[in-house]
Amino acid sequence: MTRKKPGITLGIISDTHGLLRPQAAEALQGVDMIIHAGDIGGAPVIKELELIAPVVAVRGNMDNDHWAYFLKREEVLDAGGHTVCVVHDLGTLSLDPERAGIRAVMHGHSHRPRIQDHEGILYINPGSAGPRRFTLPVSVALLQISGGDLRARIIELKP
């Protein structure tokens, strides 16, 4: 008899700009859901990610082709009993996370990986998993949710 692992793990990726690196796909193996925080760069990236786990994706400022028109600019969803929000550019967030009962906000846009807890809300930018920009790292993030515990970490990829 196999035991089900407690909680869920979200894989968070952003700013792929049409490039899903094998290292990123490998880092996301075993997650329960993948969150793509925009600047996807093409439908094939989503299709490849869907081979790993179900995907929730938002439209980034560079996702302007016809394939991206069905994507929302912001998504709010339940993850492990917690309300989380996904937006590409944190500056365009349309809701007040505290008032909306949001526990985590996942975003991209800056290409800078960062995890910050602000007034009980976890803000997660996985950085960019696509083409390297300047000297910024190539990275993804994982968010583990178990009961009331949310733990995020950045995984720097070796391209």
142 pLDDT band, cuts 50/70/90, is very high
User: Nearest 10 degrees: CA dihedral of 35, 64, 47, 36?
Assistant: -10
Looking at residue 135, what is its pLDDT? 86
Which residues on neighbouring strands pair with residue 128, listed in sequence order? 138
Q: How far apart are CA 140 and CA 13, in angstroms?
A: 5
**Residue 149 tokens, joined:** 């515990």
**pLDDT band at residue 6 using 50, 70 and 90 as cut-offs:** confident
DSSP classification of residue 27: H
pLDDT category of residue 33 using cuts at 50, 70 and 90:
very high
Which helix (H) or strand (E) is 26 found in, with range?
helix 22-27
Give me the mean pLDDT over the 131-138 stretch: 88
Q: For residue 46, what is the enclosing H or E element? A: helix 43-50
Q: How far apart are the C-alpha atoms of 34 and 69, rounded to whole Å?
A: 20
Across-strand partners of 86? 75, 106
User: pTM of the full predicted structure?
Assistant: 0.94
For residue 122, give the H/E element and its range. Answer: strand 121-125
Confidence bin at 4 (pLDDT 50/70/90): low
Instruction: Give per-residue pLDDT as tens, 89-119.
Output: 999 999 999 999 999 999 999 999 999 999 9
Domains located in the chain, CATH noted: 8-157 (3.60.21.10)
